[in-house]
Structure 1
């Protein structure tokens, strides 16, 4: 029983520390601009405008072949989703010199979560489709 209580205290302590960790957005970012830019990127994806998305990428992301990876991932799921409907939820968090926008979008036949990260130059540094 003592071990269970100790484990519970440790878990609660870790949750408390995680909850208190800073996810404050740096002053270098504008939350409204981050959300708008993310919506624009998602619309480019829906229209399969991969070259336009690539124009927003950091050099590191381009060099890693992210454009083809995004194209491959999107082609796998887009046919099943149907037409774009709306943006349901958006959240913006910051860490160090990065900002991340998580957007849940509704499509005709399902929902998709996009996680898009930016550096202070508003270049894409991460793009995830879930």
Structure 2
């Protein structure tokens, strides 16, 4: 589990560092679309629709087998967190040709933070759950 979290953090770090020059969202992205898409990804995760998440992923994540790793990490967390309740906070940050959405969600037994990055084609390039 530690290896997966490290891998996901490195993936996210690379996405962020790729466009460190500015936190401004590129004109290639729509902030509301990013938030809505990320909320859908979280719902897919809660519904254990891992194949749908894979379909939305960029080739690098697919090649790295990240969707299997997401499942491996998420299932024990989901048991502890319980049923999804609501979105608490959302933030969108631009990273050059990448965009990252951070959403804190409330669950029955606690909160979870999702940090999900996208490329200009709206493919997932980073996925981190805390």
Question: Under a length normalisation based on structure 1, what TM-score does the superposition of the two structures give?
Answer: 0.83
- Structure 1 residues 76-129: Cα deviation after superposition (integer angstroms, max 9, x where no partner): 211011110000000000111000000000000000000000000000000000
Q: Give the RMSD, CA atoms, in angstroms.
A: 0.8
State the shift of 1:75 in Å: 1.1
Q: Which residue of 1 aligns with 2:122?
A: 122
The structure that has the greater radius of gyration is 1
Any gaps of 5 or more consecutive residues in structure 2? 1-20
State the shift of 1:22 in Å: 2.5
Any gaps of 5 or more consecutive residues in structure 1? 1-20
Instruction: Count matched residues.
Output: 110
CA contact (8 A) 2:90 2:103 kept: yes
CA distance in 2, matches of 1:95, 1:47: 29
Question: Under a length normalisation based on structure 2, what TM-score does the superposition of the two structures give?
Answer: 0.83
- Structure 1 residues 14-50: Cα deviation after superposition (integer angstroms, max 9, x where no partner): xxxxxxx630000000000000000000000000000
CA distance in 1, matches of 2:115, 2:73: 14
CA contact (8 A) 2:22 2:96 kept: no
**3-state SS of paired residue (1:48):** coil
Where do 4+ consecutive residues of structure 1 move more than 3 Å?
A: none
Q: Which residue of 1 aligns with 2:98?
A: 98
